[in-house]
Amino acid sequence: TVGGSQTNVRTYFPLGGFLNLSGVRGDTLAGPQYAIGRLIYLHKIGNGGEGILDVPAYVGVSLESGNVWMQRSQMSFTSLRTDASVFVAADTYLGPVYLAGGYDQSGSTAFYLYLGHSF
């Protein structure tokens, strides 16, 4: 908790979105206490070459575990959410582009298209 106040929602930590509990839409979860852990694997599948569309390409997966809580005493391993994502990425002239699908342990899904750095 930043500043010790649990009534000021501006100090809450948001979770949700690509590589941040990927199966939950962006900033859906928020609370004064939070934890997140990620394992990300990225594999280069293309080196790029000549032409404007020939850029380095990647495929990857992630496994994320975390949650938000109102009280520190509520934090436990059994209350963690587990999410995963599968994505493809390209290192374009405008910056990295990601196309991803996220999956939550509850069965919800989310899809993402990002231009720019993801974190």
Concatenating the DSSP letter of every residue in 11-49 gives: GPEEE-STTSSTTS-TT-EEESEEEEEEEEEEEEEEE--
Closest CA to 90 of 78, 81, 99: 99
pLDDT of 110: 95
Specify the amino acid at residue 27. D
Token output for 35: 């934890």
CA distance 78 to 21: 16
Query: For residues 105 and 80, is the Cβ–Cβ distance under 8 A?
Result: no
pLDDT digits (tens), the chain, 119 positions: 455 555 666 778 899 999 999 999 988 899 989 999 999 999 998 876 665 567 888 999 999 999 999 888 999 999 999 999 999 999 888 889 999 999 999 899 999 998 987 55
Q: What is the pTM for the complete model shown?
A: 0.80
Q: Closest Cα partner for 22 from 60, 58, 59, 64? A: 64
According to DSSP, the β-strands at 33-47 and 56-69 are antiparallel
